[in-house]
Chain A
């Protein structure tokens, strides 16, 4: 276990340091998220009082698009100077490499979402602070990070990688979007609380399943 968590923590910390220096991911994705809400506003022109009903949907469309943008970067950084190959010929296990990349993406996405949430709350007239919304964000973002990291590693080695990631990512995460929107609908007052626990359970099952499957298949994706 020490041989696993130690290297994992090292790799996550490295991603955080790199991000702190280059600031190429979190800041640009936040700007993108803010642009989206402006575009939504022009496209939908909600009347006063209507915005709250649209809020859950818009919030998660924004988060999902932001996630693909962020995930696209995840493996580009590793491949710039062949660092991924350096990692792969080291004794660190593939599982640890995958989980470290996923954990880093999870942290970056949470930062992005934490920055966007108050802005969306203000513009779409809903209260950003609620436990259920928080739980939905944690569970959905974890799922985004797992699926996104796997497909990002895969897409990074295909032609037209910028297209491949969203094409693979969005259909698979549909259940997360549906569940997260339903939970947020309850939380932001745009819907009812019906089956809140059921939705959280669905997201939990999704995360648990892919937490097992993704590291396993990742080892096949990165081998040559």
Chain B
């Protein structure tokens, strides 16, 4: 029963590892500091918008969050593609983690978008190209998570969601162009947000950049955390697996 002995020794191996600074913690720490600095900059340093007032500050959250959701979905695409080619659980874990983070971010992007749209365009919702694309994105990736949840088992969940992750990502630019052209047929009655950002105040611009950087670290950290949790689940599964293989009661 060499297997059981090996498993029995495992806790010792974990204990010996002790506490040490992992890359994951480092990224998390940087993200934390940057987010605090970012908060200070947004509320204390950035000037109040002349036309829109304080509500304009949501812009420093809305833009980075939207961009990071795109980054997350790009990671889903990469993870999905590599999983289908390599069949390694690590890639599936990346796709899953980025998918969950991406859906949270794209939801936040929609919510902050609505908060933004109200004072700028005087409506809660407008079929502006970027906002519309974000909505379609949200629908695609909610479907992505649903496929994972409803697949008959974990191996199938990985394959099916990889398929959706690839198809969905390829579709995004087509959705964007179609929505944009569609709007150009019915010209928008309101000024788009980029019209303002073209002449963005230098301080505002700096705050936006810091915000982007903070959210970049934050996103990467969230994905890493989720992947670590997934790895722990897998490790538990492997221990159970080896116990069963060795013919020992697994205690569950």
Contact = CB atoms under 8 A, between A and B. Distances in A.
Direct A–B contact in the complex, CB atoms closer than 8 angstroms: yes
Interface of A: 147, 150, 154, 157-160, 164, 167-168, 170-172, 174-175, 178-179, 182, 191-192, 194-195, 198-199, 202, 205-206, 209-210, 213-214, 217, 220-221, 223
B185 A182 contact: yes
Contacts of B179: 174, 178
A163 to B, nearest CB: 8
Interface of B: 84, 136, 139-140, 142-143, 146-147, 150-152, 156, 159-160, 162-164, 166-168, 170-171, 174-175, 177-179, 181-182, 185
B150 A160 contact: yes
A13 to B, nearest CB: 28
B146 A174 contact: no
Contacts of B168: 171-172
B181 A198 contact: yes
B152 A157 contact: yes
Given A160-B150, A164-B146, A164-B150, A182 B164 contact: no
A213 to B, nearest CB: 6
B56 to A, nearest CB: 30
A217 B167 contact: yes
A214 B152 CA distance: 21
Prevailing SS type, chain A contact patch: helix
A154 B185 CA distance: 36
Contacts of A158: 147, 150-152, 160
A96 to B, nearest CB: 19
B166 A168 contact: no
Given A158-B150, A202-B174, 7 more contacts: A150-B163, A171-B143, A178-B182, A199-B181, A206-B174, A210-B167, A221-B159
A191 B152 contact: no
A147 B152 CA distance: 21
A159 B150 CA distance: 5
B147 A202 contact: no
Contact of A217 (B84, B146, B171, B175): B84
B167 A147 contact: yes
B163 A221 contact: yes
Contact of B136 (A174, A194, A223): A174
A213 B170 contact: yes
Given A158-B147, A198-B181, A205-B174, A220 B152 contact: no
Given A175-B178, A199-B181, A220-B84, A209 B170 contact: yes
Nearest to B171: A172
Contact of B147 (A168, A206, A209, A223): A168
